[in-house]
Amino acid sequence: MATNCALYKLIKLQYASETYLQLNLPPHIQRAITQIRVSAHNLEIERGRMARPHPIPPDQRLCRHCGQVETEIHFITECLLYSNMRKQMLSACPVMFKNFSGADLFMKLFTSTNRIVLHELGIFICRAMARRQSYLG
């Protein structure tokens, strides 16, 4: 719960309106962005929180590819399982993100008001989720 709130604040930072909802993005792209923003996904950080009868401690909600804690930030900006897709996304963006990584990059992407950036981000999320699905089998 605390993790979700922290994430939401990070994304909300300097972000008055939900611009991405007004950019006429294709529905599946918009959905993909929303999915990450509101933690409606099955990354380990969220699966562990929902685990019954007992939630898994946050530091044990690990990525099954690399063993790091699988947060939204890990998924979007760090995990090497998606590095090719991530490179494609970043190189297709008309904004320079190369000086940013981790939480900073995450915030830059999700608070962008540039339609192309958000479109690329949505495509990345869709492709990376599919890659993750097939990796987990």
Is residue 135 involved in binding Zn ion (CB under 5 A)? no
Minimum distance, C-beta of residue 136 to Zn ion, in the bound complex (Å): 12
Q: Of the ranges 5-13, 75-83, 110-118, 123-131, which one interacts with Zn ion (CB under 5 A)?
A: 75-83
Alpha-carbon Rg for the chain in angstroms? 15
**Could you say which of 63, 89, 109, 118 contacts Zn ion (CB under 5 A)?**
63
Rounded CA gap, 40 and 54, in Å? 20
Is residue 76 involved in binding Zn ion (CB under 5 A)? no
Is residue 115 involved in binding Zn ion (CB under 5 A)? no
Rounded CA gap, 83 and 89, in Å? 10
Identify the CA nearest to 7 among candidates 118, 79, 103, 86: 103
Is residue 128 involved in binding Zn ion (CB under 5 A)? no
**Could you say which of 25, 76, 79, 121 contacts Zn ion (CB under 5 A)?**
79
Rounded CA gap, 32 and 29, in Å? 5
* Residue ranges binding Zn ion (CB under 5 A): 63, 65-66, 79
